[in-house]
Structure 1
Amino acid sequence: MIAISLPWPPSANRYWRTYQGRMIISREAREYRTLVGNLVSKLSINKCLGRLEVVLATYPPDRRKRDLDNLLKVVFDSLQKAMVYEDDSQIDKITIQRFQVIKGGNIEVEINEI
């Protein structure tokens, strides 16, 4: 099992931007991916190669209405870029739950090979 505590990510609605006619990952999303990579590099994690189950406990930064599914793309792509697993297509089961608001927001991620 891998357990990682991550800061609140930018929304998937802010993930892509158009630049000179091309779709690119936004600066905000790239910065988040770098932050996740730095956090993961401090942990002793062996890359997961098998099928995965991911459990996310989310603690929003405020009371605004949010779609939980908008978190998944940014978090999963960031974990892939940080080499926690080869590809997010390895994920067969996802559980996501919203908890109380905490200042700054937080996401607790648990990854299990199944």
Structure 2
Amino acid sequence: MISLELPWPPSTNRIWRNVVVQGKPRTLLSQEGRAYRAHVAKLVLLARANRQLAGRVMVDVVAQAPDRRGRDLDNILKATLDALTHAGVWQDDSQIDRILVERGAVSKPGRLLVAISYEE
């Protein structure tokens, strides 16, 4: 099992930007999205969890929001799973067979407690 404590992710609305490049519409990762990915990659490296898992994966997340505002739990997954993929935890997030997300206690500035179970 791999256990990680990650920062609260940016909202889905803030991680992507729609732009026009040479007359063609493109969707790009925002500066905030790139910073989040880089931060997660650093934390994964520090936890020595950057060996790429090749088998089936299960992910449990306890979401400790930064405040009491209402939030949809499913909105935290996209940035988080993409950042873990980018950090090399697994080859692709299509390897995930189960995701369990639960709301935890409020914790400033917000964090995600992530447990990754896998088959060898």
Give the RMSD, CA atoms, in angstroms.
Answer: 1.0
Alpha-carbon deviation of 1:64? 1.2
Name the CA distance, whole Å, in 1 between partners of 2:15 and 2:52. 25
Q: Which of these two proteins has the greater Rg computed from alpha carbons? A: 2
1:41-80 mapped onto 2 (5 Å cutoff): 41-45=45-49, 46-80=51-85
**Deviation of residue 15 (structure 1)?**
1.9
Letter in 2 for 1:16: W
What is the rounded CA distance, in whole Å, between the counterparts of 1:44 and 1:18 in structure 2?
Answer: 34
Q: Name the aligned partner's letter for residue 19 of structure 2.
A: Y
- Describe the SS at the equivalent of 1:33: helix
Q: Distance in 1 between matches of 2:83 and 2:58?
A: 16
Q: State the alpha-carbon separation in 1 of the partners of residues 95 and 5 from structure 2.
A: 21
Give the CA deviation at 1:11.
Answer: 1.1
SS in 1 for 2:98: strand
Amino acid aligned to 2:27: M
Name the aligned partner's letter for residue 71 of structure 1: I
In 2, the alpha carbon distance for the partners of 1:102 and 1:44 equals 25
Following superposition of structure 1 onto structure 2, how do residues 23-34 of structure 1 map, counting pairs within 5 Å? 23-34=27-38
8 Å Cα contact 1:61/1:106 also seen in 2:
yes
The answer (yes or no) to whether the contact 1:13–1:70 under 8 Å persists in 2 is no
Q: Which runs of 5+ in 1 are unaligned?
A: none
Give percent identity, aligned residues only: 46
**Matched pairs, number:** 114
Scaled by the length of structure 1, the TM-score of the pair is: 0.95
- Which amino acid counterpart does residue 37 of structure 2 have in structure 1? R
- Displacement of 1:19 after TM fit? 2.1
SS in 2 for 1:73: helix
Q: 1:13 offset after TM fit, Å?
A: 2.0
Mapped partners of 1:100, 1:43: distance in 2:
23
1:1-114 alignment runs, 5 A limit: 1-20=1-20, 21-45=25-49, 46-114=51-119
